[in-house]
Structure 1
Amino acid sequence: MLKPIDLMYQTMLAELGQRSLDAAWTADFPPEGRFTPVTVKQRKYWYFDIPDGSGGRTRRYVGPADDPEIAKRVEEFQVQKDDLRARRRIVTTLTREGGMVAPDRMSGDIVEALAAAGLFRLRAVLVGTIAFQTYAGILSVRLPSSVVLTGDVDIAQDFAISHEVHDSLPPIVELLQSIDPSFRAVPHRSGAAASSAFVTSSGYRVEFLTSNRGSDDYTDQPAKMPALGGASADPLRFLDFLIRDPVRTMLLHKSGVPVTVPEPSRYAVHKLIVATRRHNDGQSAIKRDKDIKQAGLLFEALLQTRRASDLALVYNEAWERGPAWQEGIRGGAAMLTNDARDRLSDCLRTGAIEIGEDITMPF
């Protein structure tokens, strides 16, 4: 049985999410800076000091201290900054005492920068293990550290959405290089000039994905994604199922980063399917094993937290999509441990009763 997270910490996570969504930061006055009063010829003026990253600071003129609009901005900034510190304390409590998962610093910094640039406003979805880390908070159970470690960030966006929002991130390479200057575009395996992946000198990877509901001819070609700041995306089968009806939650990094992730039941079913698409050697085999472990843990968590109906609904949706989906589900379920298969079976049977639908078992 997975250890539940205390109600107190669940409440703190909800409060953190609300505070983070309500916070209105401006590009002119980032939270790491501070307003400084300076008296010039017996009159006080406000300046804004920002660390320059080299131990010094840059100073920006704001205006006279007796200007009521400027005084209001300074006052609001202090309230926001105090809230930023309060949110940092909440994040620290949730990760150190509450049993929730914090990302590694690199992953957190990347997601934070992308979020600030508008990634989730543009309806992108965080997928992969970085998304799985957030399920401790969503499902209120403690997840073992062995399945939450990652060395990359995977981001998905629906192809149609990227073409319809008429907005975009800033240039993606510049954005990533603001976190690590060694980020570079990875040449696409198809030989196309476009890139869907970016990597640092140490091997940290950021990859963009999109749904492929069309011809298999698109599978090995990068898709143009106008909303991603010059990045293309790899079209993948089954991804549209994963990112349908995503949920908002918090990545527990610094003062908390509001993110969008797949609904946990969809993530679990999707992992069964994609595990069967991986090879049996090298990194692919390692990823396949992690897919199956993550799916098994989610089946246990969904059953334990009385969310069996959630799983039953999305399972039937996937099953009804046809033979290729059924084959993937059966193949993934066959890789589960005996205990995990039992939990999946119990969860589906319970969920079928709750939703009043028949379910075809995958074994």
Structure 2
Amino acid sequence: MNRHSALAHAAYHDLLRLLLDDRVSDLRGTPGRVERGARAYWYDSYRVGSEVRKTYIGEDSEALRARIDRHQQLRAEAQARATERARLVRILRAERFMSLDPTTASLIAAFAQAGVFRLGGTIVGTHAFRLYEGELGLAYALDAAAQTGDLDIASFERLSLALDDRTEPPLQQVLRDFAFDPVPALDNAPAWRWRQTRGQALVEFLTPAFGDEGIRPLAALGVTAQALHHLNYLIAEPVHAALVYRSGVLVQIPRPERFAIHKLIVAERRAGRDRIKAQKDRAQAALLIEALAQDRPDDLALAYREALAQGPKWRERLAAAVEKLPAPLRAALPG
């Protein structure tokens, strides 16, 4: 397992901090806290003529409250911050951070600009795995981070409805601007996959299944999604990440320990029908488990125990998956 230098690791986390500062530097009105059930959310309330509009900022946290408290200062520092972000991206490129292909990177940047990640969208799949390079300071080998044309975005259906906000411009318009068309689904169901007409890129929208798998609406994103089991575990408590593109793009990805354990589950589900993808899933899980066992063993152990608590089918699949791991990695997981 190779690691990036301490300089690269520090530059990445500085870039991420500046992107999080940017998120609250352009508030147009008065920030306000709204409680819904056990959770609380912040909105930017402002007037357009006689109408009061609200834009979702993010879920309440100590870090977000601290940024909101100094949003006037952050606004005044916006230009200096942009210059520093560009410098940090140059450092990361010089340190051989891997970047996405221009088509995918520009599409993700457009999604971020429209508010996809602010409104709960989470990158999953191989593109999320690549973004752990900065989070964990990993220097990927070419075969470990081979690119795919598929971009998977997951979000909770209930959260998407509860936020009472929408992407702007509408996400379907963004997709069409990038020459994506909806892929017809079976039985005249709403499309949840979009394919680029001038290339091979594919965007899929996913949501956790609570009960039967099927097609569900994601109101905040203005799209429909395929509901899947096990996804609830994966995208719970996601983390922010910085995409090394232009002067940095703020996105959202699953927690790395949850991603690793989820990949073990997915590998077992695929084992009988897609051996090549199952091998890739195990390889990604193994690399992350090795890194987490060194840097964040408590987080890894907690995620593993939470997966075991999901029920007998999870325990059965995890037991089979863990048996296929090298002995040192099996030892890193709690018994």
TM-score (norm 1): 0.73
- Residue 132 of structure 1 is matched in structure 2 by 129
How many Å separate the matches in 1 of 2:327 and 2:283?
14
- Residue 96 of structure 1 is matched in structure 2 by 94
User: 1:169-180 maps to which residues of 2 (within 5 A)?
Assistant: 169=167, 170-178=169-177, 180=178
Matched, 1:228 2:227: no
Count of matched residue positions in the alignment of Structure 1 and Structure 2? 285
- Residue 298 of structure 1 is matched in structure 2 by 288
**1:246-274 Cα shifts (integer Å, max 9, x gaps):** 11121111111111111111000000001
Q: Which amino acid aligns with 1:293?
A: A
Q: Which amino acid aligns with 2:317?
A: G
Partner SS state of residue 269, structure 2: coil
How many Å separate the matches in 2 of 1:191 and 1:157?
23
How many Å separate the matches in 2 of 1:245 and 1:141?
22
**1:151-199 Cα shifts (integer Å, max 9, x gaps):** 1111110121012111122332211222x22x1001123431x111101
Shift of 1:226: 1.0
User: 1:1-363 maps to which residues of 2 (within 5 A)?
Assistant: 2-23=1-22, 80=78, 83-97=81-95, 99-148=96-145, 149-169=147-167, 170-178=169-177, 180-181=178-179, 183-192=180-189, 194-201=190-197, 202-214=199-211, 216=212, 219=213, 221-229=214-222, 231-278=223-270, 280=272, 284-305=274-295, 307-336=296-325, 341-348=326-333, 359-360=334-335
- Residue 49 of structure 2 is matched in structure 1 by none
Equivalent pair of 1:299/1:343 in contact (CA under 8 Å): no
Q: Which amino acid aligns with 2:12?
A: L
Equivalent pair of 1:272/1:331 in contact (CA under 8 Å): no
Structure 2 stretches of 5 or more lacking a match? 27-73
**1:52-111 Cα shifts (integer Å, max 9, x gaps):** xxxxxxxxxxxxxxxxxxxxxxxx9997556435423321321331x4332111111111
How many Å separate the matches in 1 of 2:276 and 2:83?
39
How many Å separate the matches in 2 of 1:235 and 1:205?
17
How many Å separate the matches in 1 of 2:237 and 2:195?
29
- Residue 70 of structure 2 is matched in structure 1 by none
- Residue 33 of structure 2 is matched in structure 1 by none
Rg larger in 1 or in 2?
A: 1
Q: Which amino acid aligns with 2:253?
A: V
Q: Which amino acid aligns with 1:209?
A: L
Equivalent pair of 1:212/1:240 in contact (CA under 8 Å): yes
How many Å separate the matches in 2 of 1:280 and 1:200?
30
How many Å separate the matches in 1 of 2:232 and 2:4?
31
Equivalent pair of 1:197/1:205 in contact (CA under 8 Å): yes
Partner SS state of residue 272, structure 1: helix
Let me know the Cα RMSD of the aligned residues. 2.3
How many Å separate the matches in 1 of 2:195 and 2:143?
24
Q: Which amino acid aligns with 1:342?
A: A
Equivalent pair of 2:128/2:254 in contact (CA under 8 Å): yes
Q: Which amino acid aligns with 1:144?
A: A
- Residue 39 of structure 2 is matched in structure 1 by none
How many Å separate the matches in 1 of 2:319 and 2:303?
15
**1:292-318 Cα shifts (integer Å, max 9, x gaps):** 11001011111232x111111110111
Equivalent pair of 2:156/2:218 in contact (CA under 8 Å): no
Equivalent pair of 1:124/1:156 in contact (CA under 8 Å): yes
Shift of 1:141: 2.1
